[in-house]
Chain A
Amino acid sequence: MSFELILGAWVAAGLTLFILTFLYQDNPLFKLAEHLYVGVSVGYAIVKTYDTVLVRLIYEPMLKPGITQGEWAKGDWSLLIPLTIGALMLARYAPKTAWMSRIAFAFVVGVGSGLAIPRVVSSYILKQIEDTVRPLLMLGADGGVSFTASLADPASNLNSIVLLIGVVSVLFYFFFSVEHTGPGRVVARTGIVFLMISFGAGFGYTVMARMSLLIGRLTDLIEFSQPQYGGATWWLLALTIATLIAFRLRRGETEPPR
């Protein structure tokens, strides 16, 4: 196994353990790893933005057209427009020119809002209404009208009714122009029950998500504890615990007894 991989295993195992010390309490090891995390991810973002935006989206299409073909064969000077708008955005940092950044934000927010409106209507309003509006009875194979009550089939009539009740009552719960009294109270109560079921489902599903992350980290730690990595996890675990104890003792000395 290469040296880089072994070193990598030690670093990764160490940083993982440092972060996990937060479970004991907030401490310098956690803070160290946490700040390193912010620094590295910001550095990563800067490098990627430079490579993608400046090199691949601006410099090459504009000044190095030879490497691409077709539409890109000629230098694309229209890219100066987004470059200018982007530069205006950065004007925010000098107090005197800060107002210029408004022009850039105005453009981005304007286009963004415009793009969003019709698409939101189409995808999140019409499409959702379309799928909720379903006949409450079904045309049977013999031409007669029937009612399907299977819970297992999401498209059954019974489920269409349940879905309709859910959508209507929850929409009504978020209706602020009428008091929730009389029949409104019943509908709003139904809405809150539906909301709670959905939150319960969300909680349950999220448990799986968070456990997966832990499983992922522990799987790595188990792998790094193998002899080919020099038992990195074990050594580092001992080191981390020793450091935590040392911090605890030192703090006990410096802090006056209560």
Chain B
Amino acid sequence: MTATGRTMLAFALLAPLAAQAGERLAPPQELQVFDTPNDGGNSLTVTWAPAPHDGPGTRYLVMVGEAGPPTGTSPSLAGMTVIADFPSDSHYVRDARTPWWSRSVPKTHHQYEIKRGRGNGNGVKDGTSYAVVVSAVRGHESMMAPALQSVPQPNWFNWNELNNLAIVVLFGLVVFGSIQVARKREIFLRRIAGLDAVDEAIGRSTELGKPILYLTGAGDMSEPSTIAAAVILGRVAKRVAAYETELMVPHRDPIVMAVCQEITKQSYLEAGKPDAFKEDSNFFITTDQFSYTAAVDGIMLRKKPAANFFMGSYFAESLLLTETGASTGAIQIAGTDSDHQLPFFVTTCDYTLIGEELYAASAYLSREPVQLGTLRGQDIGKAVVLGMLGIGTALATLSVMTGLDVSIVLDLFKDLK
């Protein structure tokens, strides 16, 4: 290191000390001790204002002791224990990550939370009064603020989570409101391109005179994707009935099979071909993942269906099914919300309804107010999220450019506890 370098380093080290030496050590000002808000109890919070002497050379000590009977005099230091000792340029209110609406002290103040845990001994107990003292220490010098008393207690509401609750309530109102609207009048839904692909596939099967295979996935009737698969089956069955093509629907869940049987029957009725309906077009194979897959693969290889539909939820078996299906030269249409299987459906199928498109397709076909209303409610939710992203980014950028404090808006979009 050069001589100049060394001098500069020494200067850099000395500079803050010199500045501090100039500031007289003072007792912590604006000291407040209160029950920690928004928590389950057994904790007190101490806050005090920053001082000119704050810096690496100065430290703060926090001492706590059980307060005696309230005599009006300041409690004695005997029986108090030091529970925290930290540099005076640390422990600020802003470190605690709380939103502006639940803060009572400026962000620049110091803050320390007294509770059981790492290095805090047994902490403080609810219902007991404690005296807290904070002192500023530099070398052998120390200045103490007068002791303050407070009682920790548990709270009934976590105000930090107010934005969370507001989102739940507002979104709930939007969803139920949309369902009400959908009950009264038509709701617009954009055309789902995948549905044209469905019709095209049925058309081609008819031309070739080959059967159609339709799978409803691994889920039971409580899963939204299975419900959507059953609704779309209704549409497919109606078309199939009109063209008198053969339909095969192998199942993994007996209840789903029963439901689908009803739906298929209804579709044939609506198409005016009740005689063409075959009870055994819906059939049960087994609940087990791989036995089912092996059996369906067998059907694909033997019967060579012209179109395969994979709707509903799928697991690892997806690739075993679609790869075999692709090898028989069938048109394959998939629709699933199982996102880790989507890459395989997208690569091996001719058309894939991705995630929510499956629900949308089902709502589009069923025209059921609850489904349509929910979809609209979610759309409004997404629009709000898009708005939050736009406004948030704009404000955050503005804040960097102008130094403006925008936390009054940004805190609303944050998950602070």
Contact = CB atoms under 8 A, between A and B. Distances in A.
A35 B291 contact: yes
A245 interface: no
A26 B290 CA distance: 11
Nearest to A117: B168
B82 interface: no
A145 to B, nearest CB: 6
Contacts of B379: 175-177
B290 A138 contact: no
Given A180-B190, A195-B354, A199-B342, A133 B167 contact: no
Nearest to A143: B403
A199 B342 CA distance: 7
A129 B344 CA distance: 29
Q: How large is the interface on A (under 10, 10 to 19, 20 to 34, 35 or more residues)?
A: 35 or more
Given A137-B401, A177-B188, A206-B343, A126 B389 contact: no
A137 B167 contact: no
B385 A176 contact: no
A202 B288 CA distance: 26
A164 interface: yes
Contacts of B356: 174, 176
B141 to A, nearest CB: 35
Given A118-B168, A175-B383, A34 B354 contact: no
Contact of B393 (A138, A145, A164, A206): A164
A196 B297 CA distance: 27
A258 to B, nearest CB: 13
Nearest to A123: B415
A224 interface: no
A133 B410 contact: yes
A56 B321 CA distance: 41
Contact of B161 (A118, A168, A175, A206): A118
Contacts of A167: 389
Contacts of A68: none
Nearest to A201: B343
B327 interface: no
B122 interface: no
Given A171-B386, A177-B379, A30 B294 contact: yes
Contacts of A72: none
Contacts of B400: 135, 137-139, 145
Given A126-B415, A203-B344, A34 B189 contact: no
A43 interface: no
Contacts of B389: 129, 132-133, 164, 167-168
B392 A133 contact: yes
A180 B190 CA distance: 8
A132 to B, nearest CB: 6
Given A138-B400, A199-B343, A34 B393 contact: no
A35 B290 CA distance: 9
Chain B CB count within 10 A is highest, among A31, A135, A176, A177, for A176
Contact of A176 (B288, B375, B413, B415): B375
A81 interface: no
B17 interface: no
Given A130-B414, A133-B413, A177 B376 contact: yes
A127 interface: yes
Given A129-B413, A168-B389, A121 B344 contact: no
A134 interface: yes
B388 interface: yes
A168 B391 CA distance: 13
Contacts of A26: 294, 297-298
B346 interface: yes
Nearest to B381: A125
A22 interface: yes
A179 B190 contact: yes
A139 B399 CA distance: 10
Nearest to B364: A176
A138 B146 CA distance: 43
A34 B291 contact: yes
B219 interface: no
B294 A174 contact: no
Nearest to B393: A133
B382 interface: yes
Given A118-B164, A179-B191, A145 B385 contact: no
Given A118-B161, A174-B355, A176-B190, 4 more contacts: A130-B415, A137-B401, A145-B400, A174-B357
17 contacts: A30-B294, A34-B294, A37-B290, A125-B167, A125-B385, A129-B413, A132-B392, A133-B396, A145-B401, A168-B390, A171-B385, A174-B357, A175-B383, A176-B356, A180-B190, A195-B354, A203-B344
